[in-house]
Amino acid sequence: MSTLPTLMLLLLGVAAGGWVLRFAGQKATGNAPVFRDMPFAVAFGYILGAGLLAFSVWYYFQPTLTEAGTPNAGVVFFRWAVQFFIVATIAAFLFRALGRTVGTQFSKKMFRQMPLTASFGVLVVIVYAFTAIFAAWLAPHGQEAIFAKVNVLPGGNAATGGDPLHPLGTDQIGRDLLSRLIYGAQNTVGIAFVTTCLAFFLGGSLGFLAATLQGWLDQVLSRAVDVLMAIPSLIFALLLMTIASAWAGSERWLLTVYMILIIAVIDSTRVFRLARAVGLNIVVMDYIEAAKLRGEGMTYLIFKEILPNATAPLLAEFGLRFCFVFLTIASLSFLGVGIQPPLADWGTMVRDSAQFINFAAFSPLTAALPLLAAGAIALLTVGVNFVVDWMLHRSSGLKE
Amino acid sequence: MQSVIRIILQRLGLGLLTLFVVSIVIFTAVNMLPGDFAQAILGQGATPAAVESIRRDLGLDQPPITRYIQWLSGALQGDLGNSFAQANFASFVGADSGVRTTVAQQIAPRFENTMFLAAVTACIAVPVSLVLGILAALFRNSVFDRATNVTTLTSISSPEFFLAYVLILFLAVLNPVLPSLSNIYDGMSFGERLEKTLLPALTLTLVVTAHMMRMTRAAIINLLASPYIEMARLKGMSPMRVIVKHALPNALAPIINVIALNLAYLITGVVVVEVVFVYPGIGQLFVDSVKIRDIPVVQACCLIFAAAYILLNLTADILSILSNPRLRHPK
Amino acid sequence: MSALVEIRDLWIEGRSDETWSPIINGASLSLNKGEVLGLIGESGAGKSTLGLAAMGFTRDGVRISKGTVLFDGVDLTLASASKKRELLGKRIAYVAQSAAASFNPAHKLMDQHTEGPVQHGVMSRAESVKDGIELYRRLRLPNPEEIGFRYPHQVSGGQLQRAMTAMAMSCRPDLIIFDEPTTALDVTTQIEVLASIRDIVEQFDTAAIYITHDLAVVAQMADRIKVLLKGDEVEDADTRTMLTHPKEDYTKSLWAVRAFERPQKPAVHTSATPVLSVQNVSAAYGKIAVLHDVSFDIHQGRTVAVVGESGSGKSTTARCITGLLPPSQGVIQFDGQSLPANYKQRNKDQLRQAQMIYQMADTALNPRKTVGEIIGRPVQFYMGLSGKQKRRRVEELLDEIEMPAAQYIDRLPSELSGGQKQRIGIARALAAEPKFIICDEVTSALDQLVAEGILKLLARLQDDLKLSYMFITHDLATVKAIADEVVVMKDGEVVEQGPKQDMFAPPHHPYTDLLLSSVPEMDPDWLTNLLNERGVDNIGDAAVDKMS
């Protein structure tokens, strides 16, 4: 274990470098305020950052094959990651540039203020939505179609156990993995979207009702939600899924419907809390009092006065909730109690192909398979979160 | 001081009440099982004796309230009933010996393992995220802050199993530093045990640190914007003193809250991570029991998870009351 | 002798949406030892920013782009962070607007008081504690021996403000910046803080920059006054000259605001039925009684001003009248008819006849609706107009409040200034064609010039439309300007009521007297005279306590 001393030595080196940087800067610029008032931590950070950058560049240009002829898998994965990062950045940049020139006055203005992360997020959401809607046209095969060749390796190269017909290979019963990955967008994302909408409808309407009416209804609903929220959501979902699976028996599609209902109800408690809090903040405003004193009815109050002012926080919450629901469903599927076969689903795909990761040293492409499905899940949530983060930052004004 | 004690007693009472209601919810949920459940779980070839035994265990021959009271009083004494796992096996063999493992026997060692995993995670995650969070708040809008923002957002957004496999890929497969399977057994040395626990703990750390760091950052930024911090700076106090003397005492409550919330979050995260690493903890037991519909175990695990969750939130609540000078020194 | 502070051609910018916009455009000032400079201006004039810049300090998102700030020969814009820390607290001190927020809630007052002297090496902790008690005594804080060992939340607002002044004095600085130290206080509390600040600044011969929007306050405190408008310096002169002979138009208009006063209307015929009659009303929030036996009448075309300090029950009275808080006893009569206690039981016409205008125009207008929609709703709801007729009526109403319809009808509230928002609030009330309007502190969130415009508008509308107003306010200048009759409230009871001219002339009820005499006047000798008259121990809270 010489890792620890090496690490310590490296850190010491960085610290010394930071000190030198600051000292040299002060001397070279005649004590300019930038260097004079620079905290040591900042100088340390600069050197550390520069060191990491230099190491990354060096590592990127390492050969992909070792001298023994086996693939240097670490380098391969690193290159993939860096290439993905660069392509994503360029795509986000181009997309934002496009948004700034095309579209309405409003959307142009929005794109002008948008940071790169948010435009990347929007792009990801659009791509996923497109894939989900047009999965049937995009996928080369049906999601349940079974081919004669089983366990075809990815890569499409016959010499390495692949098949050009199946660029990502086939699974153990001979289904085309690329098609299943594309259909996964439809199933996983679609189901998560439906569930979130349901949770919003349920939690949102009850939350606003509780905020406007207050009194006993508010008390009863709030206490019920308190209790439901005292059980961790994934645990509660698993418990209810056990019972649902007993009810569903061999009807697997029924279990998927139950799952949608269960997660929607569990998640609606969180939506309820937020909708109620947002509603309560609006209800105390003087313009609501003015409307009440004018003699306006409940419908007008909720739809014309409260809701228009709640859209921004609710939209952000919708994004967050969607991520949460999406991850919960993926986790359930990964654990084997979520979306049921024969529907293609990313969580299940990760579970089924997880053992391939052990082949990384011989065939990086094969090992990438479980990561591809898991990455597909992660990418969408990252994208949505980027957008939500920007929305929240914008609505909080210039507080930071 | 008396009012603080009163508030704390109120919170404690409320926590207990919540736990009580939660136990009713869990019990009721299980009682919504279809009637022919015992037959369904054992399959067509089950012996009538085994079916009857399961029915007796579920107490389906008694009214729900009696069953609930029995279950709850049993649970309070540490008796969580018998597991079905052996019954299944017994019915397969065709002879039910009547001797089965109790739920408590199954849970106890695994509970200890899970606590160990959570403790290791907390030991890494709490200091790292507090330091990173405070740094990000102090250097907000810098390159460092933006980079950590993007990184943590990515880490929060990724499912636990994605992070787990990425870690396995780099730390177990490509560079065999740590074992990718956590087979823990009795009588291992502490070092060995720590080594096997490290990878799952790192996975959990990634998720929890991201959450905790972002919350710490938000809390500290919020605090640094308050007029009394500006006042301290205008009194000519050094940045170090401003942080230690003026910001930290007030940051205690939000930070305690952040820690407790994230430890509570660990409870959920532990389930998936234990499955990935085949870590013999309570989360894995829970998932296995869900799959084979081992109801008493599911019920018990659920109660334990909920209790831990409520307890953590309660602790956070009470500690932040204690750290509030307004409540400690009433007018 | 060179000046203690010398600011030359200072330019300051603030960041909004990635661009830098100017806050201060080339301000200069100089301040000698022991001199007090008053900085006045309306909101957005940049007076706080300039005050902080005199300490070499800028808030986040604000930067000094050009110019120098010399303090005793040291240029603070170039000084290193550690050099500035040596000066701050020790030689330059700061008193913030909200003492409650600026004291650290986690430490006792005395610990915060001694921090400066101990850290700057001026005194030992024991000496500083002794000195602190002495300062508390000089600032006339009650229980000076003991008050320092309390936490901030255990001390009242006016006392905290004085404790903060003591803290600023703890190192005997050469300069103190007072940033609106009395704005958040009631008039009777304000006066004792003013008196003690002035005394202590004089005693230690400390130079001070006193920032405020209140002309009368600055007249008492400053030797010299500088007027700012949107980051530009308007005028700079010594206090007496500035008050008697202002040169610039802007300064003159500020001074003139104080002179606006409507003539008293003749008394109403005793047999006339009042538009609104509050009869023996008592009310409570839960079990806490807040109103006791309140009665007064409002006649057609008249304005009744309800005056009192915070907590006096004036807004609660309005809630009883509107029916938001049904009274526990007593009745509200409208045109001789009793109104149902709860607004939910009132019919559309009863609701229409009594309208309300709110203090905070920001929260009174739905931010998602355009001006046209906001005013159009009551037109449609009560009058049943729609389409073109509705639009024509909205345009008429906008005309009425002197805002060109073509320009404003499609704007959102966020695109209007504070005064314009308040005008929309008035138009919304007018749209219901009411007889009676409750104005709840409608001018207190506005700058003086804007407030004057609103008051004049309300007065004109009253004459044109024969409206009756109930005018809730804590500001006696507003009362003087607009009221016909005055109701003085304290602790939920009516202390005194009558026609304005009687109320502003002796003999007064003792509380009315205290309230009236506590309102600062433009005369620079006012505070001195008042203190001579009443004695230092007979102002503010002490006087209020003696009365009850």
pLDDT computed for residue C538 by the predictor: 62
Q: What is the mean pLDDT of residues A25-53?
A: 83
Q: Is the Cβ–Cβ distance between A177 and A126 less than 8 Å?
A: no
Candidates A288, A294, A299, A396: best to mutate against C (most CBs of C within 10 A) is A294
Residue C258 token pair: 């104080």
Please state, in angstroms and as integers, the Cα–Cα distance from residue A241 to each residue in A235, A345, C78, following that order: 10, 18, 67
| End-to-end CA gap in chain A | 44
**Secondary structure (H, E, C), A115-127:** CHHHHHHHHHHHH
B122 touches chain A (CB under 8 A): no
A299 touches chain C (CB under 8 A): no
pLDDT computed for residue A398 by the predictor: 38
Q: Do B237 and C85 touch (CB under 8 A)?
A: yes
The gap from C-alpha B28 to its chain's centroid, in whole angstroms, comes to 23
Task: Give the DSSP H or E segment for C277.
Answer: strand C276-285
- Give the CA-trace dihedral at A293, A298, A304, A310, to 10 degrees: 100
pLDDT computed for residue C60 by the predictor: 82
Residue A154 token pair: 């990815």
Give the number of A-C residue pairs with CB atoms closer than 8 Å. Answer: 53
Residue C532 makes CB contacts below 8 A (sequence gap 6+) with none
CATH code for residues A177-396: 1.10.3720.10
C83 touches chain B (CB under 8 A): no
Q: Map out the domains of chain A as residue ranges.
A: 3-60, 177-396
pLDDT band at A122 (very low <50, low <70, confident <90, very high): very high
Helix, strand or coil, per DSSP, at residue B41: helix
Say whether pLDDT at B90 is over 70: no
Strands (DSSP E) contained in C32-100 are: 36-40, 62-71, 74-75, 92-95
Residue A25 token pair: 């800067």
Partner residues linked to C15 by β-bridges: C20
Percent of chain B topping pLDDT 70: 86
Q: How far is B259 from chain A (nearest CA, A)?
A: 16
Q: Is the Cβ–Cβ distance between B17 and B310 less than 8 Å?
A: no
Q: How is residue C180 annotated by DSSP?
A: S
Say whether pLDDT at A272 is over 80: yes
pLDDT band at B91 (very low <50, low <70, confident <90, very high): very low
d(CA C34, CA C53): 19
Same domain, B309 and B171: no
Q: How far is B5 from chain A (nearest CA, A)?
A: 23
Residue with tokens 């045109």: C335
List A residues 239-298 in contact with C (Cβ-Cβ < 8 A): 285-287, 289-290, 292-296
Residue B240 token pair: 């170090």
Partner residues linked to C278 by β-bridges: C296, C332
Q: How is residue C451 annotated by DSSP?
A: H
- Number of helices (H) and strands (E), helices first, in chain B? 15, 0
Nearest to B228 among C90, C102, C150 (CB): C102
Helix, strand or coil, per DSSP, at residue C73: coil
- Give the CA-trace dihedral at C74, C80, C86, C90, to 10 degrees: 60
B319 touches chain A (CB under 8 A): no
CATH code for residues C1-88+223-256: 3.40.50.300
Task: Give the DSSP H or E segment for C285.
Answer: strand C276-285
Nearest to B228 among C86, C103, C116 (CB): C103
Say whether pLDDT at B206 is over 50: yes
Report the half-sphere exposure of C455 (CA within 13 A, side-chain side).
29
Q: For residue B318, how many other CB atoms are within 10 A of its CB?
A: 18
Strand ranges across the sheet with C303-307: C354-357, C436-440, C468-473, C303-307, C485-490, C493-499
Residues A386, A390, A393, A398, CA torsion sign: positive
Residues A70, A75, A78, A80, CA torsion sign: negative
- Tell me the pTM: 0.84
d(CA A354, CA C398): 70
Residue C249 makes CB contacts below 8 A (sequence gap 6+) with none
Residue C377 with chain A: CB contacts under 8 Å: 294
d(CA A41, CA C463): 69
Amino acid (1-letter code) at residue A326:
F
pLDDT computed for residue C545 by the predictor: 62
Residue A325 token pair: 């629901």
Residue with tokens 């039910």: B96
C378 touches chain A (CB under 8 A): yes
Same domain, B260 and B231: yes
Q: Do C96 and B238 touch (CB under 8 A)?
A: no
The gap from C-alpha C275 to its chain's centroid, in whole angstroms, comes to 31
Amino acid (1-letter code) at residue A237:
A
Amino acid (1-letter code) at residue A14:
V
Say whether pLDDT at A140 is over 60: yes
B175 touches chain A (CB under 8 A): yes
Candidates C368, C383, C414, C428: best to mutate against A (most CBs of A within 10 A) is C368
What share of residues in chain C are helix, strand, coil (percent, to 5)? Answer: 40, 25, 35
Q: Do C377 and A37 touch (CB under 8 A)?
A: no
Q: For residue A362, how many other CB atoms are within 10 A of its CB?
A: 11
d(CA C444, CA B304): 57
Which of the two residues, B267 and A389, has the higher pLDDT score? A389
Burial class, A184, CB count within 10 angstroms (exposed 0-12 / middle 13-18 / buried 19+): buried
pLDDT computed for residue B95 by the predictor: 45
Q: Do B233 and C101 touch (CB under 8 A)?
A: no
pLDDT band at A370 (very low <50, low <70, confident <90, very high): confident
Residue A246 with chain B: CB contacts under 8 Å: 33-34, 37, 40-41, 293
Q: Do A295 and C351 touch (CB under 8 A)?
A: yes
Nearest to A227 among B25, B142, B150 (CB): B25
Same domain, B64 and B210: no
pLDDT band at A161 (very low <50, low <70, confident <90, very high): low
Residue A389 with chain B: CB contacts under 8 Å: 149, 153
Helix, strand or coil, per DSSP, at residue B45: coil
Nearest to C210 by CA among C196, C198, C192, C195: C198
Candidates B234, B237, B255: best to mutate against C (most CBs of C within 10 A) is B234
B141 touches chain A (CB under 8 A): yes
Nearest to C291 by CA among C309, C317, C325, C323: C317
Comparing alpha-carbon positions, the chain C residue that sits nearest to A36 is: C80
Residue with tokens 């939920």: C492
B160 touches chain A (CB under 8 A): yes
Helix, strand or coil, per DSSP, at residue C24: strand
Task: Give the DSSP H or E segment for A367.
Answer: helix A364-395
Nearest to C101 among B226, B236, B331 (CB): B226
d(CA B196, CA B179): 6
B283, B304, B322 — which closes off a domain? Answer: B283
Task: Give the DSSP H or E segment for A247.
Answer: helix A233-248
Q: How far is B138 from chain C (nearest CA, A)?
A: 12
Residue C78 with chain A: CB contacts under 8 Å: 33
The mean of the pLDDT values for chain A is: 85
Q: How is residue C410 annotated by DSSP?
A: T
List A residues 188-247 in contact with C (Cβ-Cβ < 8 A): none
Q: What is the mean pLDDT of residues A321-332?
A: 90
d(CA A312, CA A327): 23
Same domain, B2 and B127: no
Category of C274 on φ-ψ map: left (φ > 0), alpha (ψ -120 to 50) or beta: beta
CATH code for residues C105-176+183-206+524-548: 3.40.50.300
**Secondary structure (H, E, C), C132-160:** HHHHHHHCCCCCHHHHCCCCHHHCCHHHH
Residue B236 with chain C: CB contacts under 8 Å: 84-90, 116, 119-120
Nearest to C378 among A292, A294, A308 (CB): A294
C17 touches chain A (CB under 8 A): yes
Q: How far is A302 from chain B (nearest CA, A)?
A: 32
Amino acid (1-letter code) at residue C76:
L
Amino acid (1-letter code) at residue A353:
S
Partner residues linked to C488 by β-bridges: C307, C496
Please state, in angstroms and as integers, the Cα–Cα distance from residue B299 to each residue in A227, B73, B107, B243, following that order: 17, 14, 12, 47
B247, B266, B283 — which closes off a domain? Answer: B283
d(CA A171, CA C186): 78
Q: Is the Cβ–Cβ distance between B213 and B151 less than 8 Å?
A: no
Q: Map out the domains of chain C as residue ranges.
A: 1-88+223-256, 105-176+183-206+524-548, 276-505
Residue B223: CATH number of its domain: 1.10.3720.10
Residue B292 with chain A: CB contacts under 8 Å: none
Q: What is the mean pLDDT of each run of 10 residues along chain C (548 residues)?
A: 84 81 87 89 84 88 88 87 88 89 91 93 92 89 88 87 90 91 81 86 90 87 89 86 85 76 74 87 86 90 88 88 90 89 90 91 89 92 89 92 88 88 93 92 84 90 91 86 89 88 79 82 83 70 60
Q: What CATH homologous superfamily does C276-505 map to?
A: P-loop containing nucleotide triphosphate hydrolases (3.40.50.300)
Residue B38 makes CB contacts below 8 A (sequence gap 6+) with B51, B54, B55, B58, B60
Same domain, B126 and B234: yes
Partner residues linked to C227 by β-bridges: C40, C235
Helix, strand or coil, per DSSP, at residue B222: helix
Q: Which domain holds residue B186?
A: 104-283
Q: Give the gyration radius of chain C's Cα atoms.
A: 26
Helix, strand or coil, per DSSP, at residue C324: coil
Helix, strand or coil, per DSSP, at residue A169: coil
Residue A337 with chain B: CB contacts under 8 Å: 287, 290-291
Same domain, B93 and B202: no
B32 touches chain A (CB under 8 A): yes
Partner residues linked to C226 by β-bridges: C39, C236
DSSP per-residue codes, B135-190:
HHHHTTTSHHHHHHHHHHHHHHHS-HHHHHHHHIIIIIIIS-SS-SS----TT--H
Helical pair C448-465 and C249-257, crossing angle rounded to 10 deg = 50
